[in-house]
């Protein structure tokens, strides 16, 4: 299957469901602890430096939490990076 088709489909998945799953306190913003807990549940082994780097990249407005808009923008940037590495234009 064409990797571009897979990534395009993935970008259309209901991201808000994943966001809600991470947002344990229903605040509509993700705290560091919520993101860390989600990564741990997914089995992602991220050290403290990597995690802090990830969080700082996602927290665009530097308010100490990640909004849905910031999380979605991060997902879009990640998909674009993957597509570029595959030498495929991002839709």
pLDDT tens digits for range 16-46: 888 898 999 999 999 999 999 988 888 888 8
Q: What is the pLDDT of residues 51-71, one digit of tens each?
A: 999 999 999 999 999 999 999
Fold category of 3-85 in CATH? Recoverin; domain 1 (1.10.238)
Boundaries of every domain in the chain = 3-85
63 against 81, higher pLDDT: 63
Q: What is the structure's pLDDT at 46?
A: 84
DSSP string, 17-79: HHHHHH-TT--SEE-HHHHHHHHHHTT----HHHHHHHHHHH-TT-SSSEEHHHHHHHHHHHH
Q: What is the structure's pLDDT at 80?
A: 83
């Amino acid at each position: 299957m064409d990797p571009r088709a897979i990534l395009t489909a993935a970008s259309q998945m209901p991201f808000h469901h994943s966001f809600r799953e991470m947002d344990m306190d229903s605040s509509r913003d993700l705290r560091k602890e919520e993101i860390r807990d989600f990564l741990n549940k997914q089995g992602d082994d991220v050290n403290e430096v990597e995690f802090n780097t990830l969080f700082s990249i996602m927290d665009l407005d530097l308010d100490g939490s990640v909004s849905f808009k910031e999380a979605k923008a991060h997902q879009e940037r990640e998909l674009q990076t993957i597509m570029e590495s595959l030498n495929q234009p991002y839709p």
